[in-house]
Amino acid sequence: MPNKLLPPSGPGRPKDLAKRQAILDAAKTLFLRNGYDGSSMDAIAAEAGVSKLTVYSHFTDKETLFSAAVKAKCEEQLPELFFELADGVSIDSVLLNIGRGFHTLINSRESVELHRVMVTQGSQDPKLSRMFYEAGPQQLLSEMERLLSKADAAGQLCIADVHGAADQFFCLIKGGANFRLLIGCGEPLEGAAAEQHVQDVVAMFVRAYLPAQGGC
């Protein structure tokens, strides 16, 4: 006969989820800050405030916990950029808004850490890198392609290869500064410098794809 009533000492099912979430939060923090090899299961357990075996009871092994942490981070980082091209609004201002949002995103500490981890671990686990790519960059590229196609159809831009152009736009926003940030050499552009960079990129991009006077 099982005893149903042990509120103070009984473990209970509800506690399960709270600890699982604490473990996942700790894993996200430590894995991104110190990498896969640099984060021990002991450290994650301590950060989460539980014992190491509790970690193993919720996630079978280190790799499983790592994948879960990366997946959670991907989902919470996917930004809400606006890719709509309403009537009467210039393509310049739309690209400016997208550029600002994307630039802020990829220069954030969390994004840089996630990218570092993906470079290190993703190259060893194709499933992981594919999961990350489809959850993040792929989404943005697809929406940008849609936007550029509409701008081309509306005659605001003249783009033969929308896929390539979308790729170019994001690469330009990233710029060499983001690469330096990734290898830990230099500080992120902020404030006026960041705004200037985005404006320069948008101006250069639009100039390259401006329709000729005769049309497209």
Binding region for DNA (CB under 7 A): 11, 13, 15-16, 19, 39-43, 50-54, 56-58, 61-63
CB atoms within 10 A of CB 120: 13
- Span interacting with a second copy, options 20-28, 49-57, 88-96, 112-120, rule CB under 8 A: 112-120
- Span interacting with a second copy, options 20-28, 47-55, 65-73, 157-165, rule CB under 8 A: 157-165
Angle, helices 191-208/91-106, rounded to nearest 10 degrees: 130
DSSP assignment letter at 136? T
- Span interacting with a second copy, options 23-31, 62-70, 71-79, 175-183, rule CB under 8 A: 175-183
Q: Is 19 exposed, middle or buried (0-12, 13-18, 19+ CB in 10 A)?
A: middle
Q: Are 99 and 203 in contact (CB under 8 A)?
A: no
- CA dist 77 → 19, 38, 209 (Å): 23, 23, 30
The residue among 42 and 161 lying less far from DNA, judged by its C-beta, is 42
- 93 contributes a contact to a second copy by CB under 8 A: no
* Closest distance of CB 120 from DNA, Å: 14
Backbone torsion region of residue 191, taken as left when φ is above 0, otherwise alpha when ψ lies between -120 and 50, otherwise beta: left
- 124 contributes a contact to a second copy by CB under 8 A: yes
How far apart are alpha carbons 210 and 152 in whole angstroms? 10
Q: Please identify which residue in 172, 188, 194, 195 interacts with a second copy, judged by CB under 8 A.
A: 172
Interface residues with a second copy (CB under 8 A) are 35, 37-38, 115-116, 118-120, 122-126, 129-130, 132-133, 137, 141, 161, 164-165, 167-168, 170-172, 174-177, 179-180, 182-185, 197, 200-201, 204-205, 207-209
